[in-house]
Amino acid sequence: MLTNKQTIGRNMFKYLKQLTSLVAMVAVLFTFTTESMAAKKSKTLKNTQKKGFVRCGVSQGLPGFSNADAAGNWTGVDVDVCRAVAAAVLGDANKVKFTPLSAKERFTALTSGEIDILSRNTTWTLSRDADIGLTFVGVNFYDGQGFMVRKSSGITSTSQFKDGISACTNIGTTTELNMRDFFNSKGIKYEPVAFEKADEVVAAYDAGRCDTYTTDKSGLAAQRTKMKNPDEHIVLPETISKEPLGPVVRQGDAVWEDIVRWSLNTMIEAEEYGITSANADMMKTSDNPAIKRLVGAEGELGAAFGLDNDWSLRIIKQVGNYGESYKRNIADTGILPDRGPNQLWTKGGILYVPPAR
Amino acid sequence: MNFKLKDILPQLITVTAVVLVFGFFTYNAQINMENRGIDFGYGFLSQESSFDVQFSLIEYDGSHSYFRAYLVGLLNTILVSVIGIIIATILGVIVGVARLSPNYLINKFAAFYVEFFRNIPLLLQIFFWYFAALRALPLPQDAEAMFGVFFLTIKGLYVPAFIWQNFNVFFYSILAAIIAIIVIRIQAKRVQENQGKQIPVFLISIGLIFILPLLSFLIGGVSLSFEVPVLKQLATTSFIYDGGVSLPPELIALTLSLSLYTATFIAECVRAGIQGVGKGQKEAAASIGLTPNQVLKLVIMPQALRIIIPPTTNQYLNLTKNSSLAAAIAYPDLVLVFAGTALMQTGKAIEIVSITMFTYLTLSISISLLMNWYNKKIAIQEK
């Protein structure tokens, strides 16, 4: 037996339910019309557009890759990847918030959502890619681990290393593991001295605590410029590991992953087709359809990411192509004037990216 | 009934709130980790660590497990804490007593030391001792031998290694000496209580602790030789000392800075303790004919210790926890090895940080319990 009051209550509840579903349907329709599918699927893209800046994790200061000047302006090839994404997604390469991270903090900062791109000279390895909730999107620098020694030591090759050698390095990097593999395979007893921050590694090695300093060769070249007297040190010719460095994103956001991957690819492909920040606008009238696609004059490449068609043009105009970025950050600063493997495949290097089409 | 509920309710609400908050965070962490494809589990502890550690008290290299790496870090943390606590205590007592000295120079010097070292952040001091020492110490090839066998160099302090034969006999001889001393002490106390005669226990003790081990050398077949470190060339300008035992400069700098810093606080505890004992106690003790030594030992110290121990326990705990700053200067303690390298290589942040936190908690509580036990022992026994 229901009382009158209860019946009314029930009916009211029914109406309310219908009303809510109607509102929900309208809302869904509305979002479909204002937001693209891609943006809806990518939480990271949506958040980034809402915030108005890209959250990018970088190193605590590695010249050529990510380094802040006295005024707090970040430069480097790793920094340029984040700037490219900002140019593509937000239309302005300067809308990036950089978070300096130690090797130890970097992955946690990314997986916990503190940053959205980790562009911090990070080596792409199987266990990192598969294990800890990360996805590597590409390679922006092909590197390898090497050793630095004092010139006065007379050592010119790793074959002259002897039992008891002490090696300074960073913790929490592939360097520690490679170093062990290397010394074990040569049967050399060594003393690892591992610091948390790169600045302390350099200071300790420079003071004479260690006979050798080991890390990625690009890192050695960059840190050498920070030493008291750079000319007293040399980087040995041997490379003991493969260190493909590249940007990383969180697992589970395929659209964001694609945006970062193709922002990097765009820079490399632009160099391949000779598009620079200076001539990008003129290239719109090029005869080559591949070039026209890259500068947004043909095709609908941006739509797949939920971006407008000028996304790649903005990257090239505001950040430049890969060659420009390399020259500005690494070659002109005297860190590694020779591009080595980081040259286009058409010019004897191994930079080869899938076509943008 | 009502009265009881009123009593229990606030406690019940508090417990529920704590459980709910804890549950919320656990649940949240679980959901987030699942969303991001991070596995949770402690299985990694048995995997091969594949990284080496500079300095270890147990046998370890990269072919051992992560658990072994954890033990290496833990032992290194305990090592630096124990040495630090011992040095800080000795130094703290000396400085604390010195601050009460009527001698103007000693008094002011102790005061200056305390004010200087306790007012500079510890991390800065660690950096100072480490990098200042690195810059000031000679390279191995330039090092002058101290007493002919010690070499203090930028790569560490090299000391001779002891090479024992029949070490166990030597060890038992010392053990026997200690037991004999304890027995004699108890006996001496009884004799004094019954007959009022004083036996020179101290002299007998010194005699025993020297004579018994000496006998083990003469008739027990114990022998000891030293392995003195020898300079070895690695390259034109690169040398190390081979043989002997080497203490890394990281360990030395860390122990030095931790003890110098903590000793200032202990010194203040000691000063407070001694000043807390009424002047009348000392005068009364002197008036019944006790020697100054006896006054300190039998009257002042037992009372002062009651004031000194509780705050000193805090300092011991601080020192242990502060030892985690080791990571800054490459001393492979628990934080650097386990919460540093191991965390990085496995990506198991929650697991490793929780283990590390729990370990520090256990360490601190152990020290705390030990000191509380001691405190209870020396507290006033109500009769």
Residue A314 reports pLDDT greater than 90: yes
Average pLDDT over residues A281-290: 90
Count of structural domains within chain B: 3
Question: A194 and B54 in contact by Cβ < 8 A?
Answer: yes
From the list B154, B341, B347, the residue facing A131 with the nearest CB is B347
- Of A253-257, A273-277, B154-158, give the lowest mean pLDDT range: B154-158
Whether residues B293 and B336 share a domain: the answer is: yes
Whether residues A21 and A165 share a domain: the answer is: no
Which band of pLDDT confidence, cut at 50, 70 and 90, is reported for residue A23?
Answer: low
Whether residues A132 and A249 share a domain: the answer is: yes
Residue-wise burial string across B102-111, b where 16 or more C-beta atoms lie within 10 A, e elsewhere = eeeeeeeebe
Examine residue B231 and state whether it is found in any structural domain, yes or no. Answer: no
Q: Report which residue type is found at A238.
A: E
Examine residue B233 and state whether it is found in any structural domain, yes or no. Answer: no
pLDDT for B291 equals: 87
Examine residue A278 and state whether it is found in any structural domain, yes or no. Answer: yes
pLDDT for B19 equals: 94
pLDDT for B334 equals: 93
Examine residue A177 and state whether it is found in any structural domain, yes or no. Answer: yes
Question: B336 and A172 in contact by Cβ < 8 A?
Answer: no
Whether residues B203 and B296 share a domain: the answer is: no
Q: What are A86-124's pLDDT values in tens digits? A: 999 999 999 999 999 988 788 889 988 899 999 999 999
What is the residue-averaged pLDDT of chain B? Answer: 87
User: Which residues, in sequence order, are CB contacts of A208 under 8 Å at separation 6+?
Assistant: B134, B139, B154
As for the ipTM of the complex, it is 0.78
Count of beta carbons in the 10 Å neighbourhood of residue B2: 6
**In angstroms, what separates the C-alpha of B86 from chain A's closest C-alpha?**
26
**In angstroms, what separates the C-alpha of B34 from chain A's closest C-alpha?**
9
Whether residues B196 and B259 share a domain: the answer is: no
Residue A30 reports pLDDT greater than 70: no
Examine residue B325 and state whether it is found in any structural domain, yes or no. Answer: yes
Whether residues A86 and A136 share a domain: the answer is: yes
What is the residue-averaged pLDDT of chain A? Answer: 87
Which band of pLDDT confidence, cut at 50, 70 and 90, is reported for residue A275?
Answer: very high
Count of beta carbons in the 10 Å neighbourhood of residue B122: 18
Whether residues B255 and B330 share a domain: the answer is: yes
A164 touches chain B (CB under 8 A): yes
Whether residues B23 and B126 share a domain: the answer is: no
DSSP code per residue over A52-86 = TSEEEEE-S-BTTTBEE-TT--EESHHHHHHHHHH
Quick one: what percent of chain B has pLDDT higher than 90?
Answer: 38
CB < 8 Å to B340, chain A? 104, 171-172, 194, 196
Question: B134 and A207 in contact by Cβ < 8 A?
Answer: yes
Residue A34 reports pLDDT greater than 50: no
pLDDT for B85 equals: 95
Q: What are A124-166's pLDDT values in tens digits? A: 988 888 876 889 999 999 999 999 999 988 899 999 998 889 9
A129 touches chain B (CB under 8 A): no
Whether residues A255 and A136 share a domain: the answer is: yes
Residue A6 reports pLDDT greater than 70: no
Quick one: what percent of chain B has pLDDT higher than 70?
Answer: 98
Examine residue B145 and state whether it is found in any structural domain, yes or no. Answer: no
For chain A, the C-alpha Rg in angstroms (whole number) is 25
CB < 8 Å to A190, chain B? 52
**In angstroms, what separates the C-alpha of A241 from chain B's closest C-alpha?**
15
Residue A32 reports pLDDT greater than 50: no
Whether residues A281 and A304 share a domain: the answer is: yes
Count of structural domains within chain A: 3
Whether residues B30 and B66 share a domain: the answer is: no
CB < 8 Å to B332, chain A? 194
Whether residues B29 and B70 share a domain: the answer is: no
pLDDT for B210 equals: 84
Whether residues B277 and B178 share a domain: the answer is: no
Residue B269 reports pLDDT greater than 60: yes
Which band of pLDDT confidence, cut at 50, 70 and 90, is reported for residue B241?
Answer: confident
pLDDT for B44 equals: 87
Examine residue B144 and state whether it is found in any structural domain, yes or no. Answer: no
Examine residue A91 and state whether it is found in any structural domain, yes or no. Answer: yes
Whether residues A99 and A185 share a domain: the answer is: no
- Select the residue from A148, A195, A213 to test the B interface by mutation, using most B Cβ atoms within 10 A: A195
pLDDT for B89 equals: 95
Query: Any idea what the CATH number is for the domain that residue B282 is in?
Result: 1.10.3720.10
Domain boundary among A241, A274, A291: A241
CB < 8 Å to A191, chain B? 54
From the list B62, B250, B341, the residue facing A172 with the nearest CB is B341
User: Which residues, in sequence order, are CB contacts of B348 under 8 Å at separation 6+?
Assistant: B41, B44
Average pLDDT over residues B266-278: 91
Average pLDDT over residues B320-341: 90
DSSP code per residue over A150-204 = EGGG---SGGG--TTEEEEEESSSHHHHHHHHHHHHHT--EEEEEESSHHHHHHH
Question: B237 and A197 in contact by Cβ < 8 A?
Answer: no
Question: B343 and A250 in contact by Cβ < 8 A?
Answer: no
What is the rounded CA–CA span in Å between residue B113 and residue B240? 35
pLDDT for B302 equals: 86
Whether residues A277 and A342 share a domain: the answer is: yes
CB < 8 Å to A233, chain B? none
pLDDT for B100 equals: 87
Whether residues B62 and B200 share a domain: the answer is: no
Examine residue B242 and state whether it is found in any structural domain, yes or no. Answer: no
Q: Report which residue type is found at A163.
A: D
Examine residue A332 and state whether it is found in any structural domain, yes or no. Answer: yes
Whether residues A113 and A166 share a domain: the answer is: no
Examine residue A352 and state whether it is found in any structural domain, yes or no. Answer: no
Whether residues A250 and A136 share a domain: the answer is: yes
pLDDT for A40 equals: 61
Whether residues B105 and B23 share a domain: the answer is: no
Whether residues B257 and B374 share a domain: the answer is: yes
Name the residue with higher pLDDT: A172 or B218: B218
- Of A270-279, B78-87, B298-307, give the lowest mean pLDDT range: B298-307
Q: Which residue numbers of B have CB closer than 8 Å to A's CBs?
A: 32-33, 35-39, 50-54, 61-62, 131, 134-135, 139, 154-155, 232, 234-238, 240, 242, 248-250, 327-330, 332, 336, 340-341, 343-347, 349
pLDDT for A33 equals: 45
Which band of pLDDT confidence, cut at 50, 70 and 90, is reported for residue B360?
Answer: very high
Whether residues A220 and A277 share a domain: the answer is: no
Residue B164 reports pLDDT greater than 80: no
Examine residue A267 and state whether it is found in any structural domain, yes or no. Answer: yes
A195 touches chain B (CB under 8 A): yes
Question: B343 and A104 in contact by Cβ < 8 A?
Answer: yes
Query: Any idea what the CATH number is for the domain that residue A201 is in?
Result: 3.40.190.10
Residue A326 reports pLDDT greater than 50: yes
Examine residue B64 and state whether it is found in any structural domain, yes or no. Answer: yes
Examine residue A75 and state whether it is found in any structural domain, yes or no. Answer: yes
Whether residues A226 and A280 share a domain: the answer is: no
Whether residues B294 and B174 share a domain: the answer is: no
Give the structural domain span for A291.
43-142+245-347
Examine residue A357 and state whether it is found in any structural domain, yes or no. Answer: no
pLDDT for A7 equals: 59
Average pLDDT over residues A208-226: 89
Which band of pLDDT confidence, cut at 50, 70 and 90, is reported for residue A39?
Answer: low
- Lookup: tokens for B321: 């926890």
Residue B43 reports pLDDT greater than 60: yes
A349 touches chain B (CB under 8 A): no
Which band of pLDDT confidence, cut at 50, 70 and 90, is reported for residue A1?
Answer: very low
Whether residues A254 and A342 share a domain: the answer is: yes
Average pLDDT over residues A57-76: 91
Average pLDDT over residues A27-41: 53
Find the helix or strand (DSSP H, E) in which B232 lies. strand B230-235
Give the structural domain span for B191.
168-219
Examine residue B13 and state whether it is found in any structural domain, yes or no. Answer: yes
CB < 8 Å to A192, chain B? 51-54
